Amino acid sequence: MKLLRFGPKGQEKPGLIDKDGTIRDLSAYITDVNGDALSTEVLNKLQTIDPNTLPEVDENTRIGPCVGNVGKFLCVGLNYSDHAKESGMALPKEPEIFTKATSAISGPNDNIIKPKNSDKLDWEVELAIIIGKEAKYVDEVDAEDHIAGYCVCNDVSERTFQLEKGSQWDKGKGCDTFGPIGPWLVTKDEVKDVLNLKMWLKVNGKTFQNGNSNTMVFKPAYIVSYLSQFMSLQPGDVITTGTPPGVGLGQTPPHYLNSGDKIELGIEGLGTQSQTVCDYKSSTNAITHKELETVTE
């Protein structure tokens, strides 16, 4: 099942994608795609609905972040062996954890705002975990029971803020619009092998990232178990799991984003995103669901 949220920012409604790619309105069954809707019980009930009985949504409607009311936005850095190599950094012995502010969350096709004083704006296509059941001191063997599904995330990063202004990464990770998630939350039963998914990202039509989740060092179940030893994870929490090689920082010379640049990215089976970079003083409209259908790998 592919769940999503649609409508103007702050007014999103819950929906699903039917087998023909049409958005269907789920408002009669749930109030939002958030922690309350991600329990196994609720997801099983939603699975029984005939999508053809749900109202169709105009294809020109904006797609919002695929999860609402996110409590925690957690991230794992340097979690792909080939990305760590291009970054010139050793593989961590334990997951490298940082956070993105929940105010960074945006729709999958909303503009990315280049912050004031930004000069090294970068991209990272990432697989994100969505928690469906509270996890606290969970063993790795049981961790998957706490995962509702997965989605695409662009872990947008400002490298000067991240790496040149102290030891904490969060300043370069949590700026507004730095966390596009979606277009869909794909329930885990539809993801055949989360450890073998193609991942890609283009800037202005040029492919920079072309990787696979099979080079992930710490796997999703381990990440959930690991994090649960330090904090409880609640339904609706989002955890990004790292990026394959090809980020701007790793280019020779480094290549960074400027206003007007267009980013396209996706993960096999989880959908695609398309964003335009704009200056913090200006903005343009996000592309629509219909226009997104033209975005291909």
Measured distance CA(268)–CA(266) in Å, rounded: 7
Tokens of 216: 């992930």
User: Per-residue pLDDT tens for 138-186?
Assistant: 999 999 999 999 999 999 999 999 988 877 888 999 999 999 999 999 9
> Would you say residue 30 lies in a domain?
no
pLDDT value, residue 86: 74
> Would you say residue 114 lies in a domain?
yes
Which CATH number is 170's domain given? 3.90.850.10
pLDDT value, residue 287: 59
User: Per-residue pLDDT tens for 22-36?
Assistant: 999 999 999 999 999
Measured distance CA(42)–CA(50) in Å, rounded: 15
Q: For residue 293, is pLDDT > 70?
A: no
Q: For residue 296, is pLDDT > 60?
A: no
User: Per-residue pLDDT tens for 42-98?
Assistant: 999 999 999 999 999 999 999 999 999 999 999 999 898 877 677 676 788 999 999
Q: For residue 288, is pLDDT > 90?
A: no
Q: Structural domain of residue 232, as residue ranges?
A: 65-292
Mean pLDDT value of segment 191-204: 97
> Would you say residue 179 lies in a domain?
yes
Q: What is the pTM of this model?
A: 0.94
Number of compact structural domains in the chain: 1
- Above pLDDT 70, what percent of the chain? 94
- pLDDT band, very low/low/confident/very high, at 196 (cuts 50, 70, 90): very high
Mean pLDDT value of segment 227-240: 98
Order across the sheet with 112-114: list the strands. 112-114, 271-279, 262-267, 198-203, 206-212
DSSP label of 56 = B
End-to-end CA distance of the chain: 22
Measured distance CA(233)–CA(239) in Å, rounded: 10
Q: For residue 265, is pLDDT > 80?
A: yes
pLDDT value, residue 168: 80
Q: For residue 209, is pLDDT > 90?
A: yes
Measured distance CA(63)–CA(51) in Å, rounded: 18
pLDDT value, residue 295: 56
| Residue 112 contacts residue 279 (beta carbons within 8 Å) | no
> Would you say residue 11 lies in a domain?
no
CA 292 to each of CA 174, 176, 233: distance values in angstroms, whole numbers, following the listed order? 25, 22, 32
> Would you say residue 19 lies in a domain?
no
Q: Which residues pair with 200 in a beta bridge?
A: 210, 266
> Would you say residue 113 lies in a domain?
yes
| Least confident window among 63-67, 78-82, 120-124, 204-208 | 78-82
Average pLDDT, the chain: 93
Tokens of 104: 């960074």
133 torsion bin: left (phi>0), alpha (psi -120 to 50), beta (else) = beta
Q: Is the peptide bond before 183 cis (omega within 30 degrees of 0)?
A: yes
> Would you say residue 42 lies in a domain?
no
Mean pLDDT value of segment 99-108: 98
Mean pLDDT value of segment 214-242: 97
> Would you say residue 9 lies in a domain?
no
Tell which wins on pLDDT, 283 or 123. Answer: 123
Q: Which residues pair with 149 in a beta bridge?
A: 130, 187
- Which SS3 state, helix, strand or coil, does residue 77 take? strand
